[in-house]
Amino acid sequence: DTAVSQTPKYLVTQMGNDKSIKCEQNLGHDTMYWYKQDSKKFLKIMFSYNNKELIINETVPNRFSPKSPDKAHLNLHINSLELGDSAVYFCASQLTGRTGELFFGEGSRLTVL
Amino acid sequence: GQNIDQPTEMTATEGAIVQINCTYQTSGFNGLFWYQQHAGEAPTFLSYNVLDGLEEKGRFSSFLSRSKGYSYLLLKELQMKDSASYLCAVKARRNAGNNRKLIWGLGTSLGVNP
């Protein structure tokens, strides 16, 4: 079974549309993240939730709205999509403990035309 | 400011040894990670160092010197499948919200030639 799963894996849409990406983890972790990886491969943190509570909110346009219905799910909704939103969006789940290593989902590649 | 530096690209030959360096300047330090990312795939955890010294795990080893703000990832007996991007990330000090954040490097793209 996939530990961190994201849907959809690929998303092609027009500018101005609204879209959502969903993430689920079955690892029993308390903390989940959304990262954006652009064409230059830089991993940029967007949001982090711990037990459904928002704990990290980086400087992200308010067109991006995360939602965590429970600690196993973290969804990302994007309004009024722009060309610059094209990227791979990774969901990650964090193991609490000595290392705090991240377990990443396979990524959702968003292309805005 | 917070900064992590890694070489952009490296190439090596199958069977060889390669060392990928990472230097960091961060607000506080609570551990350093190395992740591997193959093209089109998610990053996967390789190693974690919080104390000075060398941590060995099979063909991969990671070294940390906190006083120098320096780490390296050592890959031995290189295989073609080791061609990937290697990301250095530092767990920095807690912010005002009492949460630690990972500061990521841009990654080193390693190409392994036959």
Beta bridge partners of B53: B64
Question: End-to-end distance of chain A based on CA atoms, in angstroms?
Answer: 34
| Model pLDDT, residue A100 | 82
d(CA A13, CA A81): 8
Tokens 């490296």 sit at which residue? B10
pLDDT higher than threshold 90 for residue B85 = yes
CB neighbour class for A28 (10 Å; exposed up to 12, middle 13-18, buried from 19): exposed
Choose among B110, B18, B111: nearest CA to B61: B18
pLDDT > 80? residue B70? yes
Predicted confidence (pLDDT) per residue in A59-105, tens digit: 789 999 999 999 899 999 999 999 999 999 999 999 776 678 899 99
Q: Which of B101, B108, B109, B110 to mutate: most A Cβ within 10 Å? A: B101
Q: What pLDDT is recorded for position A51? A: 83
Distance CA A101, CA A26 (A): 16
* Whole-number pLDDT of residue A40: 79
The model's pLDDT over A32-49, given as tens digits with 9 standing for 90+, comes to: 999 999 887 888 999 999
CA A1, A89, B20 angle in degrees (round to 5)? Answer: 90
Report pLDDT digits (tens) over B30-47: 899 999 999 999 999 999
- Say whether B42 and A55 touch across the interface (CB within 8 A): no
Chain A residues with CB under 8 Å of B106 CB are 40-42
Tell me which chain B residues have a C-beta less than 8 angstroms from the C-beta of A43: 43, 87, 89, 104
The confidence score (pLDDT) of residue B95 equals 57
Least confident of A7-11, A57-61, B16-20: A57-61
Q: What are phi and psi of A54, to 5 degrees?
A: -70, 120
- Cβ-defined contact of A101 to B48 (cutoff 8 Å): yes
Contact (CB<8Å) B31/A42 = no
Mean pLDDT of chain A: 91
**What CA–CA distance (Å, rounded) separates A45 from B86?**
18
Could you give the CA distance from residue B107 to residue B5 in angstroms, rounded to a whole number? 9
